Structure 1
Amino acid sequence: MLTFLKLGGSLITDKRIAETPRLDVIERLAAEIAEARRADPLLRLVIGHGSGSFGHVYGRKYGTREGVHDAAGWYGFAATGDAAARLNRIVTAALLAAKIPAWSIQPGAALRCADGRIVRGMEETVALALARGLTPVVYGDVALDDVRGGTIVSTEEIFDHLIDALQPQRVVLAGEVDGIFTCDPLLDPQAQRIAEITPETFDAVADGLGRSHGVDVTGGMRAKVLHALAMVQRHPTLEIIVCSGMAPGRVGGALSGQEAGTRIAMQVRGRRVST
């Protein structure tokens, strides 16, 4: 089975303190991923991660997501990319230490965008890496843009582009909390976890998705859910799992198909999907 796994920026860094990786979390997640691969030799992974308190801090300061138009903006573009790459080296090193054949692929060197949307990607490189037994590692990065000059592309947007060519069966989005909630559970103890979200049920839960903690220049939780729904609408048999990476064993379980967090799909679990 081909699975895309995203390690969220709020999971692997402290997003409130600039350039602060959670090394213990990163190392534990690497061990869980390695165990899942050993348990299922047919499991193939594309791993992506957010930029957390690395790239997002610079991206917000310089407004890189909205566009780059002058020398100061291009400095910010370069600084954002450099920060994102620094975190990527930490994540890749942990995966390699866990004996995973992790190969970092710099998105910004291959991606081209037009007004914030990817128009050319790196699907051939990722596919060839998988065919050779490697585990590609991608991450949210800066990219050149024909309209904006430069922009920031999130890991979810990279996954969104890659699924058309690679056709994964499952996408696991691991964050700081265990799924999608009616409001931010870190701010409101009355928040309730939403077991499943489909295109039909999104409107009923959308109002609670606007508030998230920390700094995120790629749109927050609402944007991430909308991207996930766009993926399953194009690929009706795909399921996307949003779960916690803070709870030991949760990511490993999600990779093995165990129920966890919030499931995003075209239809609720157990119903037949028309294709």
Structure 2
Amino acid sequence: MVTVDAIVKLGGSVITFKDRPLTVNQEVLDRLAEELSASGLSRLIIVHGGGSFGHPLALKYRLQDGYKGPEQREGVVATHRAMLKLNEEVLKALENSGFKPISIPPLASALASSGRLKRLLHEPFVKALELGFTPVTFGDIVFDDTRGFSIISGDNLMTELSSRLRPSKAVFTVDVDGIYAEDPKLHPDAKLFEEMTADELLNLMEETRSRPVDATGGIGLKLKEAYKIASMGLDVYVVNGLKPGRLLKVLKGVRVKCTVVKGVKP
């Protein structure tokens, strides 16, 4: 099995303007691609979120509820095409930074059951890395054997890929400095956890269950997936992708302001 240096999630709130439909934050995307290149790591897997491309359309057509009627077909097509457009922008940024990126869309490589990821082909990711490519995947619509179709997030894919491919580290780029005790956008003095164990993260999830960390639940899902990955024995980094240089430092093993969830060691 090929050794994976890192699996990196480029958050949708980082690489797009969430308040501007179908708009890439080009400056940030290009910089993050340069930081990935400057890390010197050649065996990377990139996952990206939907931001202002996938989320508004998925909500408009209620795709998160599965197949309810033929009128949703238009929404499935529109949402998938929007994600392909964002994916193309990510591919271009990576290629401009020296990578040979190759897209592996979940619609063609994954299946779900009852809204949960059931199977993801990992062999294409392995073969791509062996041949010197950089695999890129993203949150997407996938077919579901009970609901017709489901939305599988980039965070879900981070967990599945980490489980199968065992990267040296898993990195989530977000639009805040890491994991906080409270939403830092509402509580500027909220405590940032610079390092925590999987058990401490689980306790935080229990405490925040009745008061989600953000209004959309996005950070809440990241907490859940970060906990799963750390429970596999892998270190998880949650870092602000909007702050120049931070992703690069995480990839190079340099201490930087972020949250590290330490993997559970046997």
1:259 Cα deviation (Å)?
2.7
2:102 is equivalent to residue 99 of structure 1: no
The corresponding residue for 2:78 is 79
Among 26, 31, 50, the residue aligned to 2:29: 26
Query: What's the secondary structure of 2:57's corresponding residue?
Result: helix
- Aligned partners of 1:199, 1:31: CA distance in 2, in Å? 31
- Shift in alpha-carbon separation, 1:129–1:17, aligned structure 2, 3 A: same
Among 253, 258, 263, the residue aligned to 2:260: 263
2:20 is equivalent to residue 17 of structure 1: yes
Letter in 2 for 1:253: K
Cα deviations by residue, 1:162-201 (Å, 9 ceiling, x for unpaired): 2232111200101111111122222221122112232321
The corresponding residue for 2:171 is 172
2:11 is equivalent to residue 8 of structure 1: yes
1:205 Cα deviation (Å)?
2.5
Counting matched residue pairs gives 259
* 1:175–1:243 Cα contact (<8 Å) kept: yes
- Structure 1 unaligned regions, length at least 5: 268-272
RMSD over aligned Cα atoms = 1.6
- Aligned partners of 2:174, 2:198: CA distance in 1, in Å? 22
Query: What's the secondary structure of 2:108's corresponding residue?
Result: helix
Letter in 1 for 2:177: D
1:204 Cα deviation (Å)?
4.1
Q: How does 1:1-275 map to 2 (within 5 A)?
A: 2-37=5-40, 40=41, 43-206=42-205, 207-208=207-208, 210-212=212-214, 219-233=217-231, 235-236=232-233, 238-260=234-256, 261-267=258-264, 273=265, 275=266
Letter in 1 for 2:247: V
TM-score calculated relative to the size of structure 1: 0.89
TM-score calculated relative to the size of structure 2: 0.92
- Aligned partners of 1:211, 1:19: CA distance in 2, in Å? 25
Q: Which moved more, 1:21-30 or 1:60-69?
A: 60-69
* 1:210–1:222 Cα contact (<8 Å) kept: yes
Cα deviations by residue, 1:178-231 (Å, 9 ceiling, x for unpaired): 111122222221122112232321354334571326xx5xx4111211111112
- Structure 2 unaligned regions, length at least 5: none
- Aligned partners of 1:116, 1:49: CA distance in 2, in Å? 20
* 2:155–2:222 Cα contact (<8 Å) kept: yes
Sequence identity (%): 33
* 1:68–1:77 Cα contact (<8 Å) kept: no
Write out the 4+ residue segments of structure 1 that deviate beyond 6 Å after TM superposition: none
- Aligned partners of 1:231, 1:254: CA distance in 2, in Å? 17
Cα deviations by residue, 1:57-99 (Å, 9 ceiling, x for unpaired): 1111112122122111222122111111111111110110111
Cα deviations by residue, 1:222-272 (Å, 9 ceiling, x for unpaired): 121111111222x22x101000111111011111122331111245xxxxx
